[in-house]
Structure 1
Amino acid sequence: MSKTLEIGDKVPFFVLRDQDGKNFNSETDLRGKTTVVYFYPKDESAVCTKEACAFRDSYQEFTDAGIQVVGINNADVESHRRFAEKNRLPFKLLSDPGNKVIKQFGVKNALFLTGRETFIIDDKGIVVYKFRDFFKGAAHAKEVLQFLSPVNQ
């Protein structure tokens, strides 16, 4: 497994497909925007659904601040499409077959599942914040918003 990305590290290059089958290119789709990238183990699991819905419920706060949200796991495009539709998720879910990108970010496995970790990437592609808590999926959106609040600027 790769070294875990740390604050100050540049995001590695990757291209993944979203739930609509469109390519997401880290060089072009992250450039010029602050982005929340969260890795989660499985579509439709209880904790992962709570996490995705927490990002959904806070989505307006992110977009008002000019921040895009992207979820990533190894499920296929069709699974992501169903998960997004069922839970009314307004952001991109990227399919990472073989967990190549999760390994590039160095997200650690938990138990027998891929890990749960959230990164904030600035408009230059640099990690400025990260949060890891496998069992508290819903806390990820809250922690990110707290970091992004003007008090922390």
Structure 2
Amino acid sequence: MAVPRVGEPAPDFTLPGGVLADGSFDRADHTLSSHRGAPVVLAFYPGDNTAVCTKQLCSYSGGLDRFTELGARVWGISPQDLDSHEGFARRHDLRMPLLADTDREVARAYGVAVPGLGLRRSVFLVGPDGVLRWKHVALLGATFQPVDTLARELAALDAA
């Protein structure tokens, strides 16, 4: 499946997820379309507790206040299940929802699934109107988009 293009509606989905809050890992379904009215950062990452993914998610969790100031929600999405996500969140005190795309259906809808390997590290910014406004799909998963870049793109959305 092709990667959705900027300016097109972002593929809607519902995934189970969990977020660490006050010591408990609150599990609930997360539906993209139910967050219309606010931008959503979708951060697809290959795996819990791997070196680059840990750096990326710790960076985004540490920068969560900047995203919140811009009115944005940040969701981490990977193929691991909720038990894995809970351990990852607790181990690194991650404060954003981690969603379980165990069958990689959402990764396929966004064109970032890689047969036999999992998924490509990627970030999609979905505008308050549900339209894809910015994306970055990595060819190699050794780096990730920094908080500053994402904050700049979110601020540009707000200014548009």
State the TM-score, normalized to the length of structure 2.
Answer: 0.85
- 1:2-151 → structure 2 map (5 Å cutoff): 2-19=1-18, 20-28=26-34, 30-109=35-114, 112-133=117-138, 134-137=141-144, 139-149=145-155
Return the letter of the residue paired with 1:81. Answer: E
How far apart, in 2, do the equivalents of 1:4 and 1:87 lie?
31
Structure 1 residues not aligned, in runs of 5+: none
| Stretch of structure 1 that moved more, 116-125 or 127-136 | 127-136
How far apart, in 2, do the equivalents of 1:121 and 1:6 lie?
11
Return the letter of the residue paired with 1:17. Answer: P
How far apart, in 2, do the equivalents of 1:37 and 1:140 lie?
14
State the TM-score, normalized to the length of structure 1.
Answer: 0.89
Does the 8 Å contact 2:46/2:120 carry over to 1? yes
Q: Tell me the percent identity.
A: 28
Higher helix content, 1 or 2: 1
Higher strand content, 1 or 2: 2
Structure 2 residues not aligned, in runs of 5+: 19-25
**Deviation of 1:114 (Å):** 1.4
